[in-house]
Amino acid sequence: MDKPLEQTTMPGAMSVPITRPALGSEEAAALADPLATGWIVQGPKVREFERAFCELSRAPHALATTSCTTALHLALSVLGVGPGDEIVVPSFTYVASANVVEQCGATTVFVDVDSSTFNMDPVALETAISPRTRAIMVVHLFGLVADMDPIMAIARERGIPVIEDAACAVGSRLRGQHAGTFGDFGAFSFHARKVVTTGEGGMLTVSDDDRAERASIMRSHGGQISDLERHRMGSFALPEHEVVGFNYRMTDLQAALGVVQLGRLDELVGRRRELAAVYDEALSDVPGVVVPRVPDGAEHTYQSYVLRLTGEAAMQRDEVAVALQRRGISTRQGTHAVHLLAYYRRRYDIAAEDFPRSLDADSSSLSLPIFPAMTGEEQDYVIAGLRDVLG
């Protein structure tokens, strides 16, 4: 085994984390209400959070869940996805996008991405569709909405449902339309690294009334009505269960945080965009660095600020990351090329070169620190550190 790269921090180095959740006194105060009322699981605060998310996104239905992963799994389950079905997924994404397909017993069909946006390539998508394709899972990576017009045209022409993995895309829009509302389902994350956080947690948006009702039932063990509805009806009897469901219910404690965070969305996104603009200006002339591209009409929320390194810098990406860590600067690989992960290599006998742009993104992407409370001093330190490391 190769010896691990030395990561000892240099004396006197500043410490700059990859992110820091933007939580304050308003979020702390919001927790008092569910604690006082005793409704702490899928109660009034969850309903309030769901209504606020519908207002933000203009989605007809929004259902809070335990995570984005469970929201994706719920969407596939509502569609009845199972063995023999194929789900098309970009090969450069977080592993959860593909994992939920495997959990349904279906087949993951990978497609390559556009190198300039890291999002699904519509041309590659068209060649990946077969008679067994049951759904297309689009990922809006790092807070940038994918090129949805050609993707939706391909899907609608063939009558294939579209699930948007919008884990990173709360507040992201394309030509004014919010992520997660182009297709049939949208799944969002409120993990600690996301623009809006509830610690953990997710949201499923649904365009169709019947599918939304089925998702609501399946979210809570398959019960025909929720505990909150049963309480308001004064019913003592347990509900009927006509389908097998899951326990994907969000707590009111999480939802109370989410309501406050959604109310701060413009502030949180605005600050991220300010920081991204500073990075863009400071790094766009650095040899070996390609700053994120934002297509016309797209509103990037910069859940992550992900560079592409090129040339010699790309070949030494891991060494660059370690050198920055020695300076106290935390970075991350953008995300996985999932087809390179051991489970998927074995299951599908995939060669690394089968998806060359995802392979390149896996080895050349570098996520820099970005969070609303980041100071100018911290950002200047990151910029200077990267310039120094790259010579």
Per-residue pLDDT of 207-241, as tens digits, reads 999 999 999 999 999 876 666 565 555 555 566 67
CATH number at residue 294: 3.90.1150.10
Once rounded to an integer, what is the mean pLDDT over residues 318-336?
97
Instruction: Kindly list the catalytic residues.
Output: 194
* 164-183 as b/e: b if 16+ CB within 10 A: bbbbbbbbbbbeebbbbbbb
Whether 298 and 219 share a structural domain = no
Using 50, 70 and 90 to split pLDDT, how confident is the model at 369?
Answer: very high
Q: How far is CA 379 from the centre of its chain?
A: 24
Structure tokens at 352: 């690394």
pTM of the model: 0.93
The backbone region for 142, taken as left when phi is positive above 0, alpha when psi lies in -120 to 50, beta otherwise, is: left
Whether 254 and 219 share a structural domain = yes
Judged against a pLDDT cut of 60, whether residue 59 lies above it is answered with: yes
Give tens-digit pLDDT for 68-111.
999 999 999 999 999 999 999 999 999 999 999 999 999 999 99
Distances (CA, A) of 312 to 118, 287, 316, 319: 20, 10, 6, 11
Nearby residues of 296 by Cβ (< 8 Å), 6 or more positions away:
none
CATH number at residue 202: 3.40.640.10
Judged against a pLDDT cut of 70, whether residue 45 lies above it is answered with: yes
Residue for token digits 């990351």? 321
Residue 363 is given by DSSP the state H
Q: Choose between 118 and 313: higher pLDDT.
A: 118
Whether 259 and 272 share a structural domain = no
Please identify, among 263, 291, 317, the residue that sits at the C-terminal boundary of a domain: 263
Domain that holds residue 371: 265-389
Residue 1: the pLDDT is: 37
Please identify, among 263, 283, 308, the residue that sits at the C-terminal boundary of a domain: 263
Whether 273 and 232 share a structural domain = no
Whether 318 and 216 share a structural domain = no
Q: Please check whether residue 108 lies inside any domain of the structure.
A: yes
Structure tokens at 261: 């965070």
How many domains are contained in the chain?
2
Sequence-ordered strand ranges (E) for the chain? 61-65, 86-90, 107-111, 133-139, 162-165, 173-174, 177-178, 185-189, 202-206, 289-290, 298-299, 305-309, 365-368
Residue 353 is given by DSSP the state G
How many other C-beta atoms are found inside a 10 Å radius of the C-beta of residue 277? 11
Whether 129 and 272 share a structural domain = no
Please identify, among 263, 292, 319, the residue that sits at the C-terminal boundary of a domain: 263
Whether 346 and 330 share a structural domain = yes
